[in-house]
């Protein structure tokens, strides 16, 4: 069943995201509901916090701020604190954002090796080779 523009607007999800490249679902604010991170290429990426009853609201904070140019994103507990973190591919770097559990993210850039930085990263998959739980 496709969502109509009216239902999308009622849910709080009708935004200009014509170049949305990835959507990540996780409980970023610790309220036991699924939130949505939309990685967008031609506009800053957005975090929609679940307001329950089929509604979402823009929320969260990112330092450094989210910029346009996102090509991919993924979620996992990278720092093993029990909270979902985000990694976002932007230009010639990966931005690793750690989450405080209230959807406040602190980020650090990880430069890509020259071979990958030419075209950038278009897909991110998270896997723990030591078989510890990441996501």
CA separation for the pair 42, 53 (Å, rounded) = 30
Residue 6: the pLDDT is 59
Give residue 65's pLDDT. Answer: 92
Q: Within its chain, how far is the Cα of 43 from the centroid?
A: 14
**What is the structure's pLDDT at 5?**
54
The pLDDT value given to residue 1: 44
What confidence score (pLDDT) does residue 3 get? 47
Q: What span, in angstroms and rounded, lies between the C-alpha atoms of 110 and 68?
A: 17
H-type helices in 66-117, by residue range?
114-117
- Please give the model's pTM, rounded to 2 decimal places: 0.85
Q: Are the C-beta atoms of 48 and 100 separated by less than 8 Å?
A: no
Rounded Cα–Cα distance for residues 44 and 125 (Å): 22
Higher-confidence position of 102 and 128: 102
**Contact residues for 5 (Cβ-Cβ < 8 A; gap 6+):** 14
The answer to whether residue 2 scores a pLDDT higher than 60 is no
Strand partners, 40: 20
Work out the average pLDDT over 96-125.
90
Nearest to 89, CA basis, from 67, 58, 65? 67
CB 109 within 8 A of CB 121: no
């Amino acid at each position: 069943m496709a969502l109509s523009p009216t239902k999308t607007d009622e849910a709080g999800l009708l935004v200009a995201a014509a170049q949305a490249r990835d959507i990540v679902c996780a409980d970023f604010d610790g309220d036991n509901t699924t939130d949505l991170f939309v990685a967008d290429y031609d506009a800053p990426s957005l975090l929609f916090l679940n307001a329950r009853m089929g509604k979402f609201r823009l929320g969260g904070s990112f330092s450094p701020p989210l910029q346009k140019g996102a090509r991919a994103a993924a979620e996992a507990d990278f720092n093993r604190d029990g909270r979902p973190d985000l990694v976002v591919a932007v230009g010639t770097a990966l931005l690793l954002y750690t989450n405080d559990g209230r959807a406040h993210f602190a980020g650090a850039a990880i430069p890509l090796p020259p071979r990958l930085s030419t075209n950038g990263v278009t897909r991110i998959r998270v896997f723990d080779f030591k078989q510890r739980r990441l996501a």
